[in-house]
């Protein structure tokens, strides 16, 4: 059979998995070792000089992590992958591999708070300037390009506004101007969206989310051109030290096998909840890419397989109603992060996006009354019931409808 024609579900199960040549173990073992023994000094020397493939030390590579790199590269349709100890670890490793002092970066204005802080504070301190724009409009990206623009980094859907970036347009802008395009695909996973197919250069994941899928690890993965990924691994991660533990790589190998069925159920639940929210009088506005009311619904349909499982909405009653909602839910869990089996609810203005200055945050559409839900794998009726009961409690107090 031609492996190139395997469907996503088959790739998710089989890619990167090679039965152990000694024992026949079907699943990749956890190579829980910090170092690797050389047969003799020549072998050690050749590996250090890159003349021969093989492992040296787990910060520079580990067989369990190699299997994960192979699986993720296959799922995103890229040449190679690099894995780091967290989403922020891989974002910094990739950006250090691309940028140097004097370069300019363009990014999304409502980007994840720590990514924003990394660009503004950490890269800023090194003399790398970032311009944050509303990347939902390609014109804004084009206008922000300078002579020294080296990279464009976007999230789509963006966190938590659920604004989209037209990936085809972004790919064209990058190619036309010779700028490296990087897309944070955390909200979608490769099952819902494959940015490389639209001409994007590098895909990033906080693998803590849907890639792991069970809320039990922190990790980051990038997929992109082989030479860049080599630089990310053998320069950035080697020297910054944000390497993943073999056990966490193994957890992701396991989690990825069920990615397609998990994503199907996440999205099926999410659209039901998004429609419920849209029909409820206490809700002012719902942001969900596969609702017709989403201003970029057509783009969502073009580049996403399903609408994802992240929903943001504005409650009537502002900040106080939002706070009461989070203290009222009984099944949903008040927590940041996303992509877990459990449904998580949070308040971006006081939590994930609090590092962004208030004026800038509100301008980017992250209002004080915005609530974000990461829809899990529970039964949707139970989740809707939880929201319904909480809305009634809020209405009793604030008389909003």
Ligand X SMILES: Cc1ncc(COP(=O)(O)O)c(C=O)c1O
Q: Is 86 in the site for ligand X (CB under 6 A)?
A: yes
Q: How far is the CB of 336 from ligand X (least distance, A)?
A: 7
Residues forming a β-bridge with 334: 345
Q: Is 340 in the site for ligand X (CB under 6 A)?
A: no
Q: How far is the CB of 364 from ligand X (least distance, A)?
A: 14
Q: Is 255 in the site for ligand X (CB under 6 A)?
A: no
By beta-carbon proximity to ligand X, the closer residue of 16 and 113 is 113
By beta-carbon proximity to ligand X, the closer residue of 78 and 220 is 220
Please check whether residue 196 is in contact with residue 223, taking contact to mean a CB–CB distance below 8 angstroms: yes
Is 59 a known active-site residue? yes
Q: Is 161 in the site for ligand X (CB under 6 A)?
A: no
Q: Is 87 in the site for ligand X (CB under 6 A)?
A: yes
Torsion of CA 286, 167, 123, 312, to 10 degrees: 10
Question: Distance (Å, rounded) from C-alpha 163 to C-alpha 172?
Answer: 19
Q: Is 323 in the site for ligand X (CB under 6 A)?
A: no
Active-site residue (options: 71, 209, 233, 265): 209
By beta-carbon proximity to ligand X, the closer residue of 88 and 364 is 88
Could you tell me how many residues make up the chain? Answer: 401
Q: Is 208 in the site for ligand X (CB under 6 A)?
A: yes
Q: How far is the CB of 151 from ligand X (least distance, A)?
A: 16
Q: How far is CA 9 from CA 72, 258, 278, 358, in A?
A: 13, 8, 32, 42
Question: Distance (Å, rounded) from C-alpha 58 to C-alpha 74?
Answer: 23
**CA nearest to 311, candidates 185, 190, 157:** 157
Q: Is 120 in the site for ligand X (CB under 6 A)?
A: no
Question: Distance (Å, rounded) from C-alpha 302 to C-alpha 305?
Answer: 8
Q: How far is the CB of 337 from ligand X (least distance, A)?
A: 6
Q: Is 108 in the site for ligand X (CB under 6 A)?
A: no
Q: How far is the CB of 218 from ligand X (least distance, A)?
A: 5
Q: Is 159 in the site for ligand X (CB under 6 A)?
A: yes
Q: Is 61 in the site for ligand X (CB under 6 A)?
A: no
CA angle 232–194–199, rounded 5-degree value: 75
Q: Which residue has the tokens 């708070």?
A: 113
**Strand pairing category for 310-315 and 283-287:** antiparallel
Q: How far is the CB of 67 from ligand X (least distance, A)?
A: 20
Number of residues that bind ligand X (CB under 6 A): 15
> What element of type H or E holds 181?
strand 180-184
By beta-carbon proximity to ligand X, the closer residue of 11 and 345 is 345
By beta-carbon proximity to ligand X, the closer residue of 58 and 206 is 206
**Three-class DSSP category at 88:** helix
Q: Is 109 in the site for ligand X (CB under 6 A)?
A: no
Signed CA dihedral, 67, 72, 73, 77: sign only = positive
Interface residue with ligand X, options 112, 118, 132, 250 (CB under 6 A): 112
Question: Distance (Å, rounded) from C-alpha 220 to C-alpha 211?
Answer: 9
Is 71 a known active-site residue? no
Of 73-81, 111-119, 327-335, 341-349, the segment contacting ligand X by CB under 6 A is 111-119
Q: How far is the CB of 65 from ligand X (least distance, A)?
A: 16
Q: Is 210 in the site for ligand X (CB under 6 A)?
A: no
Interface residue with ligand X, options 61, 171, 220, 246 (CB under 6 A): 220
Active-site residue (options: 47, 71, 109, 112): 112
Q: Which two tokens stand for residue 281?
A: 């009088």
Contacts of 195 (CB under 8 A, 6+ apart): 76, 167, 183, 185, 203
**CA nearest to 300, candidates 287, 313, 312:** 287
Is 184 a known active-site residue? yes
Is 209 a known active-site residue? yes
DSSP letter assigned to residue 379: -
Gap between the terminal Cα atoms of the chain: 60
Catalytically active residues are: 59, 112, 184, 209
The footprint of ligand X (CB under 6 A) covers 86-88, 112, 114-115, 155, 159, 184, 186, 206, 208, 218, 220, 337
């Amino acid at each position: 059979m031609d492996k190139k024609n395997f469907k996503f579900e088959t790739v998710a199960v089989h890619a990167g998995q090679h039965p152990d040549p000694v024992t026949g173990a079907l699943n990749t073992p956890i190579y829980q070792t910090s170092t690797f023994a050389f047969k003799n000094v020549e072998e050690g020397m050749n590996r250090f000089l890159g003349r021969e493939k093989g492992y040296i030390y787990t910060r520079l590579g580990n067989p369990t992590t190699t299997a994960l790199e192979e699986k993720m590269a296959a799922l995103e349709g890229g040449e190679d992958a690099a894995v780091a100890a967290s989403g922020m670890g891989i974002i910094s490793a990739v950006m250090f591999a691309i940028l140097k002092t004097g370069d300019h970066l363009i990014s999304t204005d409502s980007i994840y708070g720590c990514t924003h802080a990394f660009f503004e504070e950490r890269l800023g301190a090194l003399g790398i300037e970032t311009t944050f724009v509303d990347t939902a409009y390609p014109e804004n990206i084009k206008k922000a390009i300078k002579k020294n623009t080296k990279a464009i980094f976007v999230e789509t859907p963006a966190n938590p506004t659920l604004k989209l970036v037209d990936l085809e347009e972004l790919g064209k802008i990058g190619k036309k101007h010779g700028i490296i395009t990087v897309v944070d695909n955390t909200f979608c996973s490769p099952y819902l969206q494959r940015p490389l197919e639209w001409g994007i250069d590098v895909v990033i994941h906080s693998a803590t989310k849907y890639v792991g899928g069970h809320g039990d690890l922190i990790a980051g993965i990038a997929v992109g051109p082989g030479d860049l990924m080599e630089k990310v691994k053998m320069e950035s991660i080697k020297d910054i030290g944000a390497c993943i533990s073999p056990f966490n790589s193994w957890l992701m190998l396991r989690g990825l096998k069920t990615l397609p069925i998990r994503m199907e159920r996440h999205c099926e639940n999410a659209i039901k909840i998004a429609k419920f929210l849209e029909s409820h009088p206490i809700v002012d506005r719902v942001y969900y890419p596969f609702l017709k009311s989403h201003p970029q619904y057509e783009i969502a349909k073009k580049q996403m397989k399903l609408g994802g499982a992240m929903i943001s909405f504005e409650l009537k009653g502002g900040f106080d109603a939002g706070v009461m909602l989070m203290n009222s839910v009984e099944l949903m869990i008040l927590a940041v992060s996303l992509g877990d089996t459990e449904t998580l609810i949070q308040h971006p203005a006081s939590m994930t996006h609090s590092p962004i200055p208030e004026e800038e945050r509100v301008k980017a559409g992250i209002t004080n009354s915005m609530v974000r839900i990461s829809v899990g794998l529970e039964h949707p009726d139970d989740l809707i019931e939880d929201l319904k009961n909480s809305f009634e409690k809020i209405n009793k107090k604030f008389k909003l409808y």
